[in-house]
Structure 1
Amino acid sequence: MPLAETFAPVVDLIFPPRCPLCGEGLSAQVGLCATCWSELVIPGEPACALCQRPMGDSVDTGAVCAPCLTEAPRHDGIAAGTLYNAASRRLVLAFKHGQRIALAPMMARLMATKLSFVEPGWLIVPVPLHRWRLWRRGFNQAALLGREIARARGATLAVDMLERRKPTPTLGGLGRKARSRALSGAIAVDRKRAGQIKGARVVLVDDVLTSGATSEACVSALKRAGAERVVVACFARVLDEALPTA
């Protein structure tokens, strides 16, 4: 029996399991209460054949969404555990800014369910933080999620495959051209790992996918270095138009 399971009753006695969102008592420290689970929005089918954006029930299999028709993405698909709403936002904030790193396994499980095609031999590559931000925060949330996904799918974690060579500002509120300028030359494949990426199948991991500018810069760096396939995985994807209406 794993050590964690052996001591689980003692841990639960000292620290009674609670839902990380509402504080409701739980039977085990493994996730959310039923009410909070129901508040998460899980993206489903039908979806865009290129980016997995949820689409209306009337579309045919293999349909492509308007944004992808306008400009085909460089990535090879997006695997989102949830859509970004009030519940997923609270989890992300607790995880990333509230130091609740114990949420990583639960969040990664939701992501891993969308990555059933990933097998041993795939590389799990976290979106990198600049060293100054990593020093201030103390951890890279994408790397923690990536570690759990690698364990779940039997893949290889390549935590230092990408490096952020210069600090970048918060991209929220910036237009597309401004975001592109901010990220120009910021992200690259580590020279020491370049040989490993040629012909590789990669899952690029981040906590939230908003405009896609950062993931696009990462995908471009990986493809330039020779990656065969790059799928973007996130816990929460910002797609307000895909959220259910009240």
Structure 2
Amino acid sequence: MEGSPRWSWPLAALVTWVVGIQISEAVATVGLAGCMLTALWAARRAGRQAFMAGLREWWPLALLLGWALLAPTLAGRPPSGSGVARLVDWVAIPAAVWALGAVGPRGARVLLGVAGGVLVLSSLIAGLQHFGIWPQPETLTPLMPFKVSLLRVYEPIPGAEGRFMGGGLLFHRLKFAHVSALVILALLAFGLRARGRQRVLALSAAVVGLGAVLVFPYARAASAALVASCVAVLVLGSPRRKLALLLGGLLAVGAVG
């Protein structure tokens, strides 16, 4: 087909990004660069006026970034180079959205399938780490050159003997909790709109990930934020608002308990 090669590289960039954010920042950076190139390519095809119109829709993000740069500067402590670099990560959101628009519905389903698969795998590994069913640190020494924070998954949970802070494929409990939360919300939103097998798979992966984030990493603030966000997605994305509120309430009570 004439258009096939043209659509394949944006999908490859997105897949690299959604896999990378769950396993390695280096891989995620490569995928993000591909998404940036896709955004520039899409802007060129759309024309200057259409691109500027689309860019204006992101004014809340621009306002957030501007304030994040201005506030510390006014306080007499301008952001460092690394701080500015971390802020640039927010640009990934519009870049990913534009790249997603280039792959179409079928590409989006492939992307979510890959993201869900990696989430489930990372959740299972976090479970093994949490219960201590994990190799000793010296066994994982060959991974040291990759600058993986291996020792973090051996940190015990206070007051829970034989339980450790699982970090999944990222080997870091907070990174695992925060990144997985974003993937869970995407799968939940998609699953509420999908039908048939796609709905079952998306919601199943979201439930597995949710359970993993609530139990394995011992990240209470991230867990609370994730539960609140899931309730919001359920209420906004479900046509049965009362049932969604009931499920959200049960989810919140279960998380607190």
Please classify the TM superposition score into its range, dividing by the shorter chain length. under 0.3
Q: Which has more strand, going by share of residues?
A: 1
Using the size of structure 2 for normalisation, the TM-score is 0.26
Could you tell me the TM-score, scaled by structure 1's length? 0.27
Higher helix share: 2
